[in-house]
Copies of this chain bind each other. A is one copy, B any other.
């Protein structure tokens, strides 16, 4: 019997980035090279339709997408794997020297994005641009999903609540470690106030929050002992978890401990039961200055009902629903070739696959607004000027950075501004109105021409 000698966690290092791709990308790369067919291609990363109950998507993950293009490499062990898999030496040598020399345009993080609008457009020799598909979708798709989920929660606590503190408590339920880190980043970009994950806090400079777990309480012979010991260590920073045995009795004990120790304990956390009802009872019991923090099942739908039921709280800890975007766990983004060099010129390209049609060519996204905020977008050809504000910015030009990355706080501010300017009915958390995205006359004409050329060429 062969056995693994030691258990392996499976870290991703920069040396793995090249290999974190689908085999077909490598298969195509090799064939592009061997066939000496490496025209310039433009690839567009976008989604075809909004997930259920989403009226908009908040772009996030651009910084990681660009870091990936910058860091991408193939380590020795990784190249050895490809050698074993039958890839020839010349191709491995090419990979070992792989470097991005193309250009990238993108929508800044914190911006609202709608179907068919490219988050990112990569223009480069097709063998380069092709390789990026898997990981660009992976990073931008996931972070945008989570930023959107967070923005929806922020919007509800602004509209129906008191703009309460929201903290990502979801690392444990995130899909792996990268999801834990990136969900914390994306959730902050999307409008929450912090995370419980210290690695994410350290990495991305996000405020970190934490209280106590039930195990703390259970490890003492009485809840009172547990509270007293904690207050002894943390003083005014203490937030006491009161539902281990009975929320009301626990709250009474917390109040007594605060009084007897003469410490202005920060507050209590409720984590089970009818939270809207309990929060009202607890609020009435607590002295001024002690806060109510609510966790367990928190998402935008919970928040809407909580406020409708008269719930009162100073902060919430959304977890699973936030970090998995539980009601809509994928954005289904795609990365499609929209233009390819032929006879020295970029030609718009598309496929005709049923239900999967793509608008051809490099794009311009124009957003139109007035004093009331955004009211429509026009998706146009990159060489058209149809007015409005252009959303795509230059990030990399011929392999050189030309973009100043905003801080995460600046991205977050942009999300807040975005939320304020989006139409109210588009922001509804259920059955949102459709935000109008028109296709320009130029793009429509191009699409029709490409489609009819194709049908003719393919005898369809």
Contacts and interface: CB of A to CB of B under 8 A. Distances in A.
B135 A177 contact: yes
B178 A177 contact: yes
A337 B219 contact: yes
A66 B10 CA distance: 12
A214 B337 contact: yes
Contact of A354 (B10, B217, B222, B273): B273
Interface string A352-374: 11111000000000000000000
Copies in the complex: 2
Which range contains the number of A residues in contact with the other chain? 35 or more
A220 interface: yes
Given A198-B26, A352-B246, A9 B71 contact: yes
Interface of A: 1-4, 6-14, 16-17, 19-28, 30-32, 34-35, 37, 39, 41, 43, 63-64, 66-68, 70-71, 77-78, 81-82, 85, 126, 130, 133-135, 137-139, 141-142, 169, 171-183, 185, 196-199, 201-204, 208-223, 229-230, 232-234, 243-246, 249, 271-273, 320, 324-326, 329-330, 332, 335-337, 340, 342, 349-356, 404-407, 410, 454-455, 457-460
28 contacts: A2-B407, A10-B182, A21-B171, A22-B171, A25-B210, A31-B234, A37-B229, A81-B202, A85-B198, A133-B213, A134-B197, A138-B173, A138-B176, A138-B177, A141-B173, A174-B175, A175-B178, A175-B324, A176-B178, A176-B181, A178-B178, A179-B179, A214-B337, A218-B349, A218-B351, A245-B460, A249-B458, A273-B354
